[in-house]
Amino acid sequence: MSLIDLVQDVVWAIHPAKLDEINAFIELRLNGKAAIDEEAEEAVSGKSGNRADSAYEVRDGVAVIPVYGMLMKRANIFTRFSGGTSYQLLRRDIGMALEDPAVKGIVLDVDSPGGTVDGVFELADFIRESRGRKPIVAVADGMMASAAYLLASAADKVLLGQAAQAGSIGVAATHYDFSERDRQAGIKRTEIFAGRYKRMGTDAEPLSDEAKAYLQSRVDYYYTLFVEAVARSRGITPEEALLMADGRIFIGRQALDVGLADDIGTMGQAFSLASSKATMRRKGGVKMTQEDLKLENPELHGKIFKEGADSMLPVMEAEKEKAFQDGVQTERARVVEILEADGDPEVTRTAIREGMASEQAFKLFFKAEKETREKAIRDYHDSLSESAGHQASEKNVDNGAGFMAEADKVQAERKCKRSEALSIVARRSPELHVAYLASLKQ
């Protein structure tokens, strides 16, 4: 792989100034400087985060794992002469520390401008998913930018020195156009490919609008992944993460105020946190149970319990009042529904007094109505037997007229349909209804 292949259209999650230095170094090499001179080396210099002799250093039971310099998936020409950290080796080191019985906590000692996106999301997921196994604390007194911040945000806790820089959440890519250089050198390249996007944005020609849009879509997608990963790690929404993901660098307490860090602290404080089982993040991460807090700090537990109970009193009172009002409304609806059924008065009073559901009251209304109707029919037939030999007019003077008159009265009062008025009178006065039906047969 050529040097240019390491940067051409590669998507970076890195501090802009560092990316400028890398590009300057590339230009020095492309302009004919065969060796890496002091100026070029200074442009990309940094500390090494991976050591061949040992994976990490253990101090008082805490594994210190450096996350230094430019971050890339694998070691390459940059990490060979300027230091840096390989994502693959960093995952190896963290995994070994998690399995090491001599290690009770892990400190990620971060001083990095970031690096490539290739491999960073998988490593961040691994760190976040390792929460709870052993305390993991990320700390920086220098720079914790871009991809380096993404990794740090996945730890249980993030500490920053007062002058430390954190943030630079964003991604970028650089496209090199060598068409003019090739023309001057008399070089003409013919690219043979299949697939519309296979050589979209080639360095053999100026970048077209379509190719630029294609590369921009890739950058936008990686940016979305970046923001979502930070949101998951920090226990916030993507919308909240966007407020601190505009590419800015925040210093010390500024980073704390926007939510990038959990506290201002030193390496010593990071050691103390990594040694404690109580290490936890403010949002997400390893949770301390109520029982843990009660055992480790009973005074604080009592204070929190009391404050919590006091703060819940207004809520409980509000919920109690709401429940009362809901009950009033439910009871009112029940009573109105029973009254509107216009059933037997005695049954109505009983249903309301005994708190019957409307469905139960309706069944009693039907039963009472049926019994009343049957009694009226029996009484009517008895009256016919008793009046044998007399004129029908002496017993049923109205010949059903009373039923119709009552129906007229109900319809006028209720302003309802005729059929509804007839039904109401039939329920109220079954004897009139029976007489009316008898008059129809005469």
pLDDT one-digit tens code per residue, 123-148: 999 999 999 999 999 999 999 999 99
d(CA 389, CA 401): 23
207: which DSSP letter?
P
> Long-range pairs for 435-439 at CB < 8 Å and ≥24 separation?
435/380, 435/396, 435/398, 435/399, 435/400, 435/402, 435/403, 436/400, 436/402, 436/403, 436/404, 437/400, 438/380, 438/396, 438/400, 439/396, 439/399, 439/400, 439/401
pTM over 0.75: no
Average pLDDT over residues 394-403: 60
pLDDT of 306 higher than 80: no
Residue 215 pLDDT class (50, 70, 90 cuts): confident
pLDDT over 90 at 117, yes or no: yes
Q: DSSP of 286-339, one letter per residue?
A: SPPPHHHHHHH-HHHHHHHHHHHHHHHHHHHHHHHHHHHHHHHHHHHHHHHHHH
Q: 245 or 199: which carries more pLDDT confidence?
A: 245
Q: For the residues 401-429, what does the mean pLDDT come to?
A: 81
Q: Is the pLDDT of residue 78 over 70?
A: no
pLDDT (mean) for 274-299: 58
pLDDT at 147: 95
φ, ψ dihedrals at 247, nearest 5°: 90, -5
